[in-house]
Amino acid sequence: MFFDLYCPQRGWLHRLDPRTKFGVALFGATLYITQNDVRLLVALLALQHLLFLSGRIPMARLLWVWRQLVRLLLFIMLVWPWFAGRGGHVWVEIGPLALTSAGVADAAAIAIRIVGMSLWVFFILFTTRQSHLVQGLVQLGLPFEWGLILAIALRYIPTFFFTIQHIRDAQAARAWEPRGNIVERLRGMIPLLVAFIVNVVRTGDTLAMALATRGVGRGTPRTSRIQLRMHPLDWSMLSVSLILAITLTLLA
Please enumerate in sequence order all residues whose Cβ is within 8 A of that of 231, keeping only pairs 6 or more positions apart, or say none: 15, 17
Q: What is the pLDDT of residues 78-111, one digit of tens each?
A: 988 888 766 777 788 777 787 888 888 899 999 9
pLDDT surpassing 80 at residue 121:
yes
pTM: 0.78
Backbone angles phi, psi at 246, to 5 degrees: -65, -45
Q: What is the pLDDT of residues 35-53, one digit of tens each?
A: 888 999 999 999 999 999 9
Encode burial over 71-102: b for 16+ CB neighbours within 10 A, e otherwise.
Answer: eebeebeeebbbebeeeeeeeeeeeeebbbeb
Determine contact, residues 128/18, Cβ cutoff 8 Å. Answer: yes
Q: Report pLDDT for 191.
A: 79
Q: Report pLDDT for 109.
A: 93
Confidence of residue 219 (pLDDT cuts 50, 70, 90): low
Of 8-12, 26-30, 212-216, the least confident? 212-216
Rounded Cα distance between 149 and 141, Å, is 15
Q: Report pLDDT for 220.
A: 67
Q: What is the pLDDT of residues 69-78, one digit of tens each?
A: 999 999 999 9
Q: Report pLDDT for 2.
A: 47
Of 98-102, 127-131, 135-139, the least confident? 98-102
